[in-house]
Amino acid sequence: MRRRSFWRAAVVAAVVVMVGSSCQWTFARFDAANTGASTNEKILTLANVPGLDEEWSSTTTLGPSVTAPIVVGSRVFVASSTGLAAFDAGGVEGCSGSPKTCAPLWTAPGFANNLFVLGGVLVRSGGSGIEAFDPAGATNCSGAPRVCQPLWTSPNPAGAGVAAGSEIFAPGQIGSGTAVVTAAGCAAPASCPPLRTYPAPCASLSLCTSKYTSLAGDDLITSSDGHLTENTGMVAAFDRSGAQGCSGTPITCAPRWATRVGDPIGPPAVAGGSIYQAALEWCSVPEECAPRATLTALDRATGAKRWVNPLSTSFAGIAVADGWVHEAHSDELVTYRDPGTCITTCPRHHRAALGGTGRASLAVANGMVFVGNSNGVSVFDVAGVAGCTPAPIECSAVAHVDGFWTYELSIALGNVWAVDSTGRLHALGLD
């Protein structure tokens, strides 16, 4: 019998009641700092994770361009370039058969490149702008099957944003910066205009776009890339509140500092006093050299480069927690120990072969690193102890589930929520 006790008490009302609780995965990379590391997961442990198995999968596919699953109360949400879908996290409502499959409880058409939770609403950013939905699928929803319309919108096209308080920080389009809108006071059918803008720092003779945003404390961290010249991508820090360095009508804000690192690969991850940014440096003469990928650690207060490590072109993402920096590639996981003391470069602490190819994703929870790629989902000990050999430390997975190519994953409620290459959601849990 699979684990079900957690869900017997779950009711639809929990979607709203639990939004502010500790059981969620509410941003693509868990938090607004884009660490990719859950501080909430307590059910899955190194001792029981070998029992991980698939509990159910979705009946629908959303295509390959999918977001990481978002977990809110008793609901799991996945968005893509074709639409947004909500599922019962307990695998009960809308679910049947053996092996069990689950149909969406509600859907919403439209493109998304990001999905997150702000207060009591589910927020989607994409080509149609920023749109907010009722996670319970009640307000502005109708029909059978149930289809939902936005509670409110901010019409400017937006990239992968984050949020804090009542404010949403979302990158714009080419030549624009990060615009800030507020959910406070927004109600159907109102459109919510930007409150202020943080222009993308840009080298001369270039046209730059803010690609990613992260929030930590009073800091808004943005990463941008250039369009007319190469290697002009920058990481910059702004005052999140708009109290410092901001002026004019409409309000625009200047950065406290900006550091060139190359064109970003994924969002900056902010942990403690450091910012970690993967980036790609292009060759001005492609025939003479190959692009160079790097992982740069920046001082959060000053923007100074603490260390720079080379990356392979198969780099897929990072996750940062408790002084550990985990770097996923399509075929390996590399971990560094960086309590803030690495200088110039940071030596590898341990690695693991993944045995896969192509796109990969990773997340950290409760002392474990979960990595998804074409070989399914593999789980490793964060510290390089369980399943690992003596120095040089090489690690094997302490758990593995295969049968699908994992594009994105999240960890919450004692489950691994994995989206495969077709956009199908898989719920992995304990027997």
- When pLDDT is cut at 50, 70 and 90, the band that residue 180 belongs to is low
The 8-class DSSP code of residue 66 comes to B
pLDDT attached to residue 229: 56
User: pLDDT by residue (tens digit) across 208-236?
Assistant: 788 889 999 999 999 988 765 566 789 99
Q: How many residues does the chain have?
A: 431
Cα gap 247→202, rounded to integer Å: 19
Residue 193 tokens read as 């205009």
Residue 313: CATH number of its domain: 2.130.10.10
CA atoms lying within 13 Å on the CB side of residue 241 = 4
Considering only 121-125, 249-253, 283-287, which range has the smallest mean pLDDT?
283-287
pLDDT attached to residue 323: 94
The structural domain count of the chain equals: 1
pLDDT at residue 314 greater than cutoff 80: no
- When pLDDT is cut at 50, 70 and 90, the band that residue 237 belongs to is very high
* C-alpha dihedral (91, 92, 93, 98), degrees to nearest 10: 80
Q: Say if CB 71 and CB 408 are below 8 A apart.
A: no
Element (H, E) at 7: helix 5-8
| CA dihedral (103, 104, 106, 107) positive or negative | negative
pLDDT at residue 2 greater than cutoff 60: no
Rounded mean pLDDT, 233-251: 90
- When pLDDT is cut at 50, 70 and 90, the band that residue 143 belongs to is very high
* Torsion region of 208: left, alpha or beta (phi above 0 gives left; psi -120 to 50 gives alpha): beta
The residues, ordered by sequence, that sit 6+ positions from 326 with a Cβ below 8 Å of its Cβ are: 318, 319, 320, 333, 334, 335, 362, 364, 369, 382
pLDDT attached to residue 293: 87
pLDDT at residue 183 greater than cutoff 80: no
Burial 218-246 (b: 16+ CB within 10 A, else e): ebbbbbbbbeeebbbbbbbbbbbebeeeb
- The better pLDDT of the pair 366, 3 is held by 366
pLDDT at residue 104 greater than cutoff 50: yes
pLDDT attached to residue 146: 97
Q: What are phi and psi of 49, to 5 degrees?
A: -65, -25
Q: Say if CB 207 and CB 191 are below 8 A apart.
A: no
Rounded mean pLDDT, 179-185: 59
Q: Say if CB 206 and CB 229 are below 8 A apart.
A: yes
Q: Say if CB 132 and CB 183 are below 8 A apart.
A: yes
pLDDT attached to residue 294: 92
pLDDT attached to residue 120: 84
The residues, ordered by sequence, that sit 6+ positions from 421 with a Cβ below 8 Å of its Cβ are: 64, 359, 404, 405, 407
Element (H, E) at 415: strand 415-420
187 C-beta neighbours (distance < 10 Å), count: 10
Specify the residue for token string 């808004």.
220
Q: Say if CB 362 and CB 328 are below 8 A apart.
A: yes
- The better pLDDT of the pair 100, 17 is held by 100
pTM, entire model: 0.91
Instruction: Provide the percentage of residues in the chain whose pLDDT is more than 90.
Output: 57
- When pLDDT is cut at 50, 70 and 90, the band that residue 13 belongs to is very low
- The better pLDDT of the pair 224, 69 is held by 69
pLDDT attached to residue 173: 58
The residues, ordered by sequence, that sit 6+ positions from 98 with a Cβ below 8 Å of its Cβ are: none
Rounded mean pLDDT, 42-48: 96
Rounded mean pLDDT, 359-388: 94
pLDDT at residue 312 greater than cutoff 70: yes
- The better pLDDT of the pair 167, 352 is held by 352
Q: Which of 117, 105, 102 is nearest to 426 (CA)?
A: 102
pLDDT at residue 392 greater than cutoff 80: yes
CA atoms lying within 13 Å on the CB side of residue 191 = 7
pLDDT attached to residue 430: 95
User: pLDDT by residue (tens digit) across 327-360?
Assistant: 998 789 999 999 888 999 999 999 999 887 767 8
48 C-beta neighbours (distance < 10 Å), count: 14
Omega before 50 within 30 of 0, i.e. cis? no
pLDDT at residue 9 greater than cutoff 50: no
Rounded mean pLDDT, 389-406: 94
- When pLDDT is cut at 50, 70 and 90, the band that residue 18 belongs to is very low
- When pLDDT is cut at 50, 70 and 90, the band that residue 55 belongs to is very high
- When pLDDT is cut at 50, 70 and 90, the band that residue 280 belongs to is confident
CA atoms lying within 13 Å on the CB side of residue 418 = 33
pLDDT at residue 255 greater than cutoff 90: yes
Domain that holds residue 178: 5-430
- When pLDDT is cut at 50, 70 and 90, the band that residue 59 belongs to is very high
pLDDT attached to residue 286: 60
